[in-house]
């Protein structure tokens, strides 16, 4: 009971008792009017006491945050208690709905790949999403209240925070060797919102794009410079017929080099920009072998022993031009990197688990172990001058890798310097099937995978 009301109740009760006693004395002394007045006063005192007690219990309930049900009171107090109770339940429902909304909002923020960090006017962390914590190496609970620049100490970030706000994001090394970008926005009274993003992949792609453009420019500039030199020579010097022919031959070679480069670049662009080849267009492996053989025979011009075997019982589901380009690139490389008198063998084999394999083996110069992981990178060459001399662009194996990936396959290389190389194109069971070798055209599938 509240002390004030308790005091009222006590005063009321004691007052009533006094008046009652007064009434008894007045009645006993023969003054009835005074007696009635005293009785009325006694009744009012009792009423006052009753109301005070109800108000006190109501106030007690309110003081305890209106926990549980309202006290059982009657009359106007019951009505007041009911209205207060309703208002409180309404507010409770509203608060619950707001909390739900806040939880949903925070869950959405947490689901974003962008990290969110909220700072107070002193740059102390007031909230941190899981992603921001991962980006910056923070603990979303433990680090609350800490100045962010005490925890994220990358100089670029610290400097940016000191000069923020800025409409430009800052990039800096993040936790775990990643590369991060952070955008700082001001809001409210000195509060700050920091949005973090992992840009490792983006920066890597940008670097690759820049080096690709630089490589292409370099590859084109060299033959172009040579061509321009020859044109100048021919236009300024009187050349004999023999000299003219020699210069024209050299010019043709340079022009061809540029043509091959542009063709390879277009092939790569097409491979990257088109959907995967359909898995229901079946090609005969023997046809692909025939085309590759024609390429090898023409390039080798009788300088190598060429062997082609297998594949009569196999079909591949995929794009004929792409698969010919992949196999052709390997066969041409095998011839180019094998000295006269060497051997080149192309074979189709089946693996026990149903994969089909094109194997191109040569007895050529071979490749040092440290180069193997990088062979399929664009413009990667083990020996640049040898590659260019033999008409290479440095894009061949990159094309092969793309083609294989688009057919769900893999490329595998084994090589030993001085002994030769073995390149294998592995195609998954979903893309290959056995057929019964037919002498009259259409081969019939015997196993569908």
Residues of the shown chain interacting with ligand ADP in the complex, contacts defined by CB under 6 A: 329, 333-334, 337, 362, 364-367, 375, 380-383, 387, 392-398, 421
In the bound state with ligand ADP, the residue whose beta carbon lies nearer, of 53 and 367, is 367
Q: How far is the CB of 194 from ligand ADP (least distance, A)?
A: 44
In the bound state with ligand ADP, the residue whose beta carbon lies nearer, of 16 and 325, is 325
Angle between helices 320-336 and 285-300 (to 10 degrees): 30
Q: How far is the CB of 290 from ligand ADP (least distance, A)?
A: 21
- Taking residue 218's Cβ as centre, other Cβ atoms within 10 Å add up to 10
Q: What is the dihedral of CA 221, 222, 228, 234, to 10 degrees?
A: -170
In the bound state with ligand ADP, the residue whose beta carbon lies nearer, of 317 and 365, is 365
Angle between helices 396-406 and 320-336 (to 10 degrees): 150
Rounded to whole angstroms, the Cα distance separating 137 from 177 reads 11
Q: Residue by residue, what is the 3-state secondary structure of 341-383?
A: CCEEEEEEEECCCCCEEEEEEECCCCCCHHHHHHCCCCCCCCC
Cα of 210 vs its chain's centroid, Å:
22
What is 195-247 written as a DSSP string? EEEE-HHHHHHHHHHHHHHHHHHHHHHHHHHHHHHHHHHHHHS---HHHHHHH
Q: How far is the CB of 149 from ligand ADP (least distance, A)?
A: 48
Q: Which two tokens stand for residue 319?
A: 């794009």
In the bound state with ligand ADP, the residue whose beta carbon lies nearer, of 154 and 344, is 344
Beta strand pairing status for 343-350 and 305-309? parallel
Angstrom CA distances, 195 to 109, 180, 261, 422, stand at 11, 10, 43, 50
In the bound state with ligand ADP, the residue whose beta carbon lies nearer, of 115 and 364, is 364
Burial of 295 from C-beta contacts in 10 A (0-12 / 13-18 / 19+):
middle
Q: How far is the CB of 146 from ligand ADP (least distance, A)?
A: 52
In the bound state with ligand ADP, the residue whose beta carbon lies nearer, of 53 and 306, is 306
Q: How far is the CB of 250 from ligand ADP (least distance, A)?
A: 20
In the bound state with ligand ADP, the residue whose beta carbon lies nearer, of 286 and 359, is 359
Q: How far is the CB of 275 from ligand ADP (least distance, A)?
A: 24
Q: How far is the CB of 303 from ligand ADP (least distance, A)?
A: 15
H/E element, 318: none
Q: How far is the CB of 407 from ligand ADP (least distance, A)?
A: 18
Q: How far is the CB of 296 from ligand ADP (least distance, A)?
A: 12
In the bound state with ligand ADP, the residue whose beta carbon lies nearer, of 346 and 367, is 367
In the bound state with ligand ADP, the residue whose beta carbon lies nearer, of 177 and 341, is 341
In the bound state with ligand ADP, the residue whose beta carbon lies nearer, of 2 and 260, is 260
Q: How far is the CB of 414 from ligand ADP (least distance, A)?
A: 11
Radius of gyration of the chain (CA): 45
List strands edge to edge, sheet with 444-447. Answer: 282-284, 314-317, 432-436, 444-447
């Amino acid at each position: 009971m509240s002390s004030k009301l308790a005091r009222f109740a006590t005063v009321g009760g004691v007052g009533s008792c006094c008046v009652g006693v007064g009434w008894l004395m007045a009645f006993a002394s023969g003054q009835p009017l005074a007696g009635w007045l005293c009785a009325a006063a006694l009744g009012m005192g009792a009423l006052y006491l009753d109301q005070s007690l109800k108000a006190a219990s109501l106030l007690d309930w309110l003081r305890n945050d209106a926990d549980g049900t309202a006290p059982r009171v009657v009359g106007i107090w019951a009505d007041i208690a009911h209205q207060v109770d309703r208002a409180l339940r309404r507010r409770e429902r509203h608060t619950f709905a707001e909390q739900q909304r806040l939880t949903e909002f925070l869950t959405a923020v947490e689901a974003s790949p962008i990290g969110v960090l909220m700072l107070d006017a002193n740059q102390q962390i007031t909230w941190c999403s899981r992603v921001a914590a991962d980006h910056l190496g923070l603990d979303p609970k433990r680090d609350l209240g800490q100045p962010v620049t005490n925890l994220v100490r990358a100089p670029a970030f610290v400097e940016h925070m000191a000069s923020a706000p800025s409409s430009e994001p800052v990039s800096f090394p993040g936790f775990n060797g990643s590369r991060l970008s952070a955008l700082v926005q001001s809001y409210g009274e000195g509060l700050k919102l920091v949005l973090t993003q992992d840009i490792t992949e983006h920066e890597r792609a940008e670097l690759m794009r820049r080096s690709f453009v630089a490589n292409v420019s370099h590859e084109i500039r060299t033959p172009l410079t040579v061509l321009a030199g020859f044109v100048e020579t021919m236009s300024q010097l009187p050349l004999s017929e023999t000299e003219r022919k020699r210069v024209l031959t050299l010019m043709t070679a340079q022009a061809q080099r540029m043509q091959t480069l542009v063709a390879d670049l277009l092939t790569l662009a097409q491979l990257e920009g088109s959907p995967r080849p359909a898995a229901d267009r079946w090609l005969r492996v023997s046809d692909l072998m025939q085309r590759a053989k024609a390429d090898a025979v023409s390039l080798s011009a009788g300088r190598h022993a060429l062997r082609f075997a297998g594949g009569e019982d196999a079909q591949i589901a995929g794009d004929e031009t792409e698969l010919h380009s992949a196999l052709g690139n390997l066969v041409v490389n095998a011839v180019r990197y094998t000295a006269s008198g060497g051997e080149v063998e192309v074979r189709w084999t089946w693996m026990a688990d149903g994969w089909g394999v094109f194997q191109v083996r040569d007895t050529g110069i071979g490749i040092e172990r440290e180069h193997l992981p990088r062979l399929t990178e664009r413009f990667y060459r083990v020996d640049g001058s040898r590659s260019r001399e033999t008409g290479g662009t440095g894009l061949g194996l990159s094309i092969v890798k793309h083609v294989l990936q688009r057919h769900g396959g893999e490329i595998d290389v084994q090589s030993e310097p001085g002994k030769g190389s073995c390149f294998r194109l592995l195609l998954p069971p979903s893309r290959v099937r056995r057929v019964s070798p037919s002498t009259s055209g259409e081969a019939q599938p015997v196993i569908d995978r």
